Amino acid sequence: MANHIYCELLKLKRSKIVLITVLGAVVTPVFIFILHLTIQYRQPDAVFVMADFYDGALLFTMLMLGPIVYVVIATYLFSREYTENTLKTILSVPVKKFTFITGKFLMLFFYIIFLTGITWLVMSIFTIIFHGFFGFEEFGVRLAARFLGQMMIGGTLMFLTITPFAFLAIWTKGFVVPLITAATVVLGNMMVVNSELGELFPWVSSFLLVADGVKQFVYPFSLVVGLIAVVSILGFVLSVIYFQRKDI
């Protein structure tokens, strides 16, 4: 398993997808920074709270830009063996299909955590810059550390809800269907995030769990968490079953 993950790292190292996804992870901090600069320009007397800076980044990462960027890397990891015709060569080595596909999922998890860390790092740099020029209320390292914890939990939950897109990548052997589906999910996020139905939409409920913690949900908490688990397990199981039964 470790050797397989190492091979995936080597393949990513030689790919432009790393630069593309890193730039995608940086978009949210840049957007939040520009947004606050615009508010500062229009309202010079505005008071900014550091927590709002980070909360905005968390929202955009988990509900809007993050799903697209993470689906891109998931689709790349799971479909590249088909598009580059390397699957037959890889499976000629004595490696089980289950080990192969599980290694892909582990690599996806590590890469999502890596991109999440990039987002937090760039966000923190912009926070320091903004504070140096305009000042934040409640500025401090503890708040930045708390946000890092939220981002890591959010990245983990996003990985769990990305598994169905990995199945779509294996099934269609391409980018089009997973990305269209991801765009549809993002649109759904925007539609239900402020309604009670958001608690039943796994991609939104993941954000609510991170942003609000264990709160008094309208729906049973076990139902909310259970739906996330069902989506994650279903995506993984379908991926494994389809990959093992499909002739190479």
**CA gap 22, 127 in Å, rounded:** 19
- Of the two residues 25 and 215, the one the predictor is more confident about is 25
Average pLDDT over all residues of the chain: 86
Write out pLDDT tens, residues 126-136: 999 988 888 87
Beta strands in 51-158 (DSSP E): none
Write out pLDDT tens, residues 48-91: 888 888 888 899 999 999 899 999 999 988 887 766 665 555 55
Contact 59, 154 (CB under 8 A): no
Q: Dihedral of CA 35/39/44/48: which sign?
A: negative
Q: How many domains does the chain have?
A: 1
Q: List the structure tokens of 71.
A: 């689906």
Instruction: Return the pLDDT at 88.
Output: 55
At position 78, the amino acid (one-letter code) is F
Confidence of residue 6 (pLDDT cuts 50, 70, 90): low
Contact 209, 137 (CB under 8 A): no
Contact 28, 61 (CB under 8 A): yes
Task: Judge whether residue 16 has pLDDT over 90.
Answer: no
Task: Judge whether residue 8 has pLDDT over 80.
Answer: no
Confidence of residue 217 (pLDDT cuts 50, 70, 90): confident
**CA gap 144, 124 in Å, rounded:** 7
Domain extent for 217: 2-245
234 vs 46, 78, 160, 242, CA distance in Å? 47, 16, 10, 12
| pTM over 0.85, yes/no | yes
**CA gap 173, 242 in Å, rounded:** 12
39 vs 33, 60, 198, 244, CA distance in Å? 10, 18, 29, 54
Contacts of 241 (CB under 8 A, 6+ apart): none
Beta bridge partners of 137: 49
